[in-house]
Structure 1
């Protein structure tokens, strides 16, 4: 049996303790560096950010991870949540450019409100917080009133909650002359979408040439994401053989733009044809399913 002298044994213990201490120091340094790196990354976030939610997928947040929202009544790009509305839905504004490399910076903008304050926008929609979202990642405001929706970068459709107006005459959701907002479909940037009354389920009967398509352009889009008020099962895509384009449908109705709707929020096409809403109605959520071919 080998005997180790006490002196040598003490030296070995000292050696081991020193190495252990050195290893602990190194580990602490790496841990601190990692933490500082993470903290620095969080601290350096600016402007609108993208976050991933288990239910909603990719959503827009502020730099601290607080959820942002779109308001259907703002489809024209003008903020309409004012006064008491702002208590529940505070506006969001950041003068800083987004540092999120996955965000399309071209879609980010700002608008000046009637009172002079600035508000950040995405795809032209003014952005808001929801006061009841307390913790980072909360999304309690989606679907409120059927007109507030979590802000996402990948909606195929959106909803407008707006007055129908054409030829300086206001119309209700039943196309009677009168005031009152109607909830209807738009594209992801607030442009009004229409149905053609003679169309059939999944069949575009209008677009027989490029000339016609120039007057009532088809809405080209793949089915990506829709607001929670819209059933994704009601949305589809067809191919229009005459112009070789894909066209989005809702409840079987092919979707179109009207050429004279020059800006987001315009819905001038409702009076074209036989009368208000008879030939080219806007697509409301409660629209009947298009008839079979």
Structure 2
């Protein structure tokens, strides 16, 4: 009888011992990654990726907030969409949104810019799509400026819309130009000289018409060279310059992507700024 009790006790001990060992050997489930992550890249600094670390991109032609990448374009630039966003620390939910594209699909946006993948990125951390066609850029959360590509549209004296080409003659065609991160067009003034603002009144009474721009220029799309930017003092306020040209917004540009200043008061008096802008003449 004692031997039977001993055998039973031993069997129970072994059973509990095996159960404990099995439990200890169960692998921990992988940590759930956020749907949008904030990664650090050695070239670009902070960039946006999906949950697997695949890089996301902005398209210059999407300056108005709708997607201009349609049909065959999507083979190279698949859309990014996450119905339920979770975000890494440092990202704000208010900066994200979604659009319904012309093809009926939904797409996630960041500060109004639709987000995409690049088909030739093969592994997490790849950034092969940056500056492709001079109109695709790695998605950073904190660009100082953006590089747009769109039709220039002005107004005639009656308020009717007129399309302009890059040489400020009436016509159709896409033009590159700089905007701020939210798509507000940036201009130069033809009567300014290198490092000299010849427009703004000392009392800033005309600043509402052409507001001077003063933002930190430290996170730029890769097509722009930080050495081309500077700052000047304008009656006690700071204004940024590009290739010596003081930079301005236009007061009547109220919707992202507007560029109504290109023919106000006449075509080319207030040119847009882009990588082809010549150096401002000496004073």
Q: Bin the TM-score by the shorter chain.
A: 0.7 to 0.9
Partners of 1:72 and 1:52 in 2: CA distance: 23
Partners of 2:282 and 2:144 in 1: CA distance: 25
Matched, 1:263 2:271: no
User: Given that residues 223 and 237 in structure 1 are in contact (C-alpha distance below 8 angstroms), is that contact kept between their aligned partners in structure 2?
Assistant: no
Partners of 1:60 and 1:205 in 2: CA distance: 40
155, 177, 184: which is aligned to 1:191? 184
* Structure-1 residue corresponding to 2:73: 85
* Structure-2 residue corresponding to 1:231: 225
Q: How much is the aligned-residue C-alpha RMSD, in angstroms?
A: 2.0
3-state DSSP class of the match of 1:102? Answer: coil
256, 277, 280: which is aligned to 1:290? 280
Partners of 2:154 and 2:169 in 1: CA distance: 12
87, 99, 118: which is aligned to 2:106? 118
Q: Which digits, 9 at most, give the CA deviation of each residue in 1:254-280, with x for residues without a partner?
A: 11111111101111001112x211x21
User: Given that residues 218 and 226 in structure 2 are in contact (C-alpha distance below 8 angstroms), is that contact kept between their aligned partners in structure 1?
Assistant: no
Partners of 2:231 and 2:250 in 1: CA distance: 19
Partners of 1:36 and 1:203 in 2: CA distance: 64
How far apart are residue 97 of structure 1 and its match? 2.6
How far apart are residue 137 of structure 1 and its match? 0.5
Instruction: Choose 56-65 or 245-254, whichever is displaced more.
Output: 245-254
78, 81, 88: which is aligned to 1:100? 88
Aligned length: 256
3-state DSSP class of the match of 2:206? Answer: helix
Q: Unmatched 5+ residue regions in structure 2?
A: 1-19, 156-160
Matched, 1:276 2:270: no
3-state DSSP class of the match of 2:208? Answer: helix
How far apart are residue 196 of structure 1 and its match? 1.0
How far apart are residue 53 of structure 1 and its match? 0.4
167, 182, 191: which is aligned to 2:175? 182
3-state DSSP class of the match of 2:121? Answer: coil
Matching of residues 22-101 of structure 1 within 5 Å: 36=28, 39-40=30-31, 43=32, 45-101=33-89
How far apart are residue 85 of structure 1 and its match? 0.1
Q: Which digits, 9 at most, give the CA deviation of each residue in 1:66-91, with x for residues without a partner?
A: 10000001111110000000000001
3-state DSSP class of the match of 1:215? Answer: coil
Matched, 1:250 2:242: yes
How far apart are residue 128 of structure 1 and its match? 0.4
Instruction: Choose 62-71 or 194-203, whichever is displaced more.
Output: 194-203
Q: 1:72 to 1:148 in 2, by over 3 A?
A: same
202, 206, 210: which is aligned to 2:195? 202
How far apart are residue 204 of structure 1 and its match? 1.8
User: Given that residues 113 and 119 in structure 1 are in contact (C-alpha distance below 8 angstroms), is that contact kept between their aligned partners in structure 2?
Assistant: yes
Partners of 2:233 and 2:198 in 1: CA distance: 12
Q: Which digits, 9 at most, give the CA deviation of each residue in 1:18-72, with x for residues without a partner?
A: xxxxxxx9xxx7xx89x848x32xx1x2332110000111111111111000000
User: Given that residues 78 and 116 in structure 2 are in contact (C-alpha distance below 8 angstroms), is that contact kept between their aligned partners in structure 1?
Assistant: yes
Q: 1:47 to 1:219 in 2, by over 3 A?
A: farther
* Moved segments of 4+, more than 6 Å: none
3-state DSSP class of the match of 1:106? Answer: helix
134, 146, 164: which is aligned to 2:152? 164
- TM-score, scaled to structure 2: 0.85
More helix by share: 1
* Structure-2 residue corresponding to 1:127: 115
3-state DSSP class of the match of 1:210? Answer: coil
How far apart are residue 104 of structure 1 and its match? 2.9
User: Given that residues 164 and 172 in structure 2 are in contact (C-alpha distance below 8 angstroms), is that contact kept between their aligned partners in structure 1?
Assistant: yes
- TM-score, scaled to structure 1: 0.83
Q: Unmatched 5+ residue regions in structure 1?
A: 1-24
